[in-house]
Amino acid sequence: MLAAVLAPMVVLVSSARGETRVPVRLDPRAGPVLAAPILLPAVGGRAVIGEGWADVTVGPRTFRFILGAPLFRLDGKLQTLVGSASLRRDTLQLPIQFVSEILPGALGDRFRYDARLARLVDGAPAVIAARESPRNPNRLPNGLRRGHGVTIDAGHGGVDPGNPGLFFPNGLREKDVTLQLSLLVRDELASRGVKVVMTRRTDTLIDLRSRGAYCRDDCDLFVSIHVNSLPRRPGYQRVRGFETYFLAEAKTEDAARVARMENEAIRFEGSGDPAEQPGGLDFILKDLQLNEHLRESARAAELVQSYLQESHTGPDLGVKQAGFMVLTTARRPAILIETGYSTNPDDARLLTARASQRNLAASIADAVVAYLLEYERKVGLGPREPAVAGRSRK
Ligand SMILES: [Zn+2]
């Protein structure tokens, strides 16, 4: 419990490879944890996940964590932990003790942890860092292959204001805030070496079904950015938080409500009821290529949720699915982020203050880069194999 109270929000890993911010999540059962797909690339490590255990290898050492139990094994010796390693939506999460004590203990000549700054220093000389992450003219300093493209879609625009923005200052509405956030995400991605195409850069309306067309062959991911709101009902102003959707049949009434709200833009386009459009959701979901994209989309959504915890003060409302028209036409993995509620004063402030907007945009950009790195490893283009994330598939 004490460890939970004192846990930092972010652990900074610095090495010859650069600096990585690893968000700390407070898991109700496992205590403060770090997502392995974010941490391990930063220390040149990897993980293999089996039934009930996970082997984490960093340098010459392999740590076997017992999932869900406060135990790990090193050199044949079972040792106790304060928290535990566990899987969350198929993502391995490691107790913070792994960076604060275990790595510096087992690889003391290489790792040092500064608890005051919540900083893990990886002193591996540049030669080791270079071996683990070979210098390659086709790679960016963050390890990413050059030439990735992402489409950022600022929700609504022009005659479609989106939601009225109950607590937004200065008459801002959803369409204004989505554009501000999207432009910041574009800048953050550009500074990470990812090429960005915007569906809109000004206050104009783009047809919902045309937006996906901005993401085709040379595009790796489509990201639509929105702000949620609730209809007037008792206590509605207290609801806040962020959630990320991918395209599939809605599982809950609330997910269906959000999709209906975002799909309403179509009435500004004078093209009738969305339900009567040809190529409905079930038709699209039969497309096998798209099924692969759905798995990728779900993964991208998970990473966005993980990273946004770092900069968002509201609760993580999780990955959800629903039938968003804007996502149906992207022929690539596609997600829609509801960045918060304009009907909640705290979220409204967070979404409109410049500093917090920048932090949110940086988190989204970090998540996109993590997704692209993971995708590269999965398809065998990555600098280090095997894949860091996910359950081992047989
Ligand atoms: Zn919206």
DSSP 255-298: HHHHHHHHHGGGGGGT---GGGSSS-HHHHHT-HHHHHHHHHHH
Query: Which is more confident, 168 or 45?
Result: 168
**16: pLDDT strictly greater than 90:** no
**329: pLDDT strictly greater than 50:** yes
**32: pLDDT strictly greater than 80:** yes
pLDDT at 126: 58
Cα(308) to centroid(ligand 1), Å: 18
> Which range has highest mean pLDDT (22-36, 136-150, 151-165, 306-320)?
151-165
Cα(156) to centroid(ligand 1), Å: 6
pLDDT at 129: 52
The total number of residues written for the chain in this structure: 394
Q: What is the pTM of this model?
A: 0.69
Cα(153) to centroid(ligand 1), Å: 11
Q: Order of strands, edge to edge, in the sheet holding 77-80?
A: 46-49, 53-58, 61-66, 71-74, 77-80
What confidence tier does 107 reach under pLDDT thresholds 50, 70, 90? Answer: very high
Q: Choose the weakest-confidence range: 116-120, 149-153, 275-279, 294-298.
A: 275-279
Cα(157) to centroid(ligand 1), Å: 10
Phi-psi region of 55 (alpha: psi -120 to 50; beta: other; left: phi over 0): beta
pLDDT at 283: 60
Q: Say how far apart CA 78 and CA 345 lie, in whole Å.
A: 49
Cα(375) to centroid(ligand 1), Å: 28
Q: Mapping DSSP to helix (H, G, I), strand (E, B) and coil, where does residue 53 land?
A: strand
What is the rounded (10 degree) CA torsion for 251, 177, 187, 17? Answer: -50
133-159 per-position pLDDT tens digit: 445 667 777 778 889 999 999 999 999
Q: Say how far apart CA 91 and CA 98 lie, in whole Å.
A: 16
Angle between helices 354-378 and 345-352 (to 10 degrees): 80
Q: Say how far apart CA 354 and CA 90 lie, in whole Å.
A: 34
Cα(325) to centroid(ligand 1), Å: 12
Strands (E), 308-376: 316-322, 334-341
pLDDT at 309: 87
Cα(130) to centroid(ligand 1), Å: 44
pLDDT at 281: 64
pLDDT at 131: 54
Largest separation between any pair of C-alpha atoms in the chain: 69
What confidence tier does 391 reach under pLDDT thresholds 50, 70, 90? Answer: very low
Cα(179) to centroid(ligand 1), Å: 11
Cα(178) to centroid(ligand 1), Å: 8
Q: Say how far apart CA 318 and CA 243 lie, in whole Å.
A: 5
